[in-house]
Amino acid sequence: MATKAYILIKVKAGKTKEVIKLLKKIPGVEQAHPCFGQPDIFSFVNVADEKALSDVVITKIHTIEGVEETDTHIVAET
């Protein structure tokens, strides 16, 4: 079963546009929206499983220059 999650991202000042552009290139990232306030970006990810989610967050999102912090919320299937 696929794993869906909202990833809230805090970025360094002035880096939001660049981070959004790179996020949209990551497979599994279906949406990425800059927002006023905290966090700076709300993104939605849909991947194969939790291992794939971990890979997206740790090896792809965290390595984008300007990303300071992420907060991952896995969607609870009802």
Q: Which domain holds residue 7?
A: 3-74
Closest CA to 34 of 53, 51, 21: 21
**Per-residue model confidence (pLDDT) at position 1:** 80
CA angle at residue 56 from 6 to 70, to 5 degrees? 50
Which helix H or strand E contains 22, and what residues bound it? helix 16-23
Question: How many domains, the chain?
Answer: 1
Which helix H or strand E contains 18, and what residues bound it? helix 16-23
**Per-residue model confidence (pLDDT) at position 7:** 98
Rounded CA-CA distance 32/8 in Å is: 9
**What tens-digit pLDDT sequence spans the chain (78 residues)?**
899 999 999 999 999 999 999 999 999 999 999 999 999 999 999 999 999 999 999 999 999 999 999 999 999 986
Closest CA to 41 of 15, 65, 63: 15
pTM > 0.85: yes
**Per-residue model confidence (pLDDT) at position 77:** 80
Which CATH number covers residue 38? 3.30.70.920
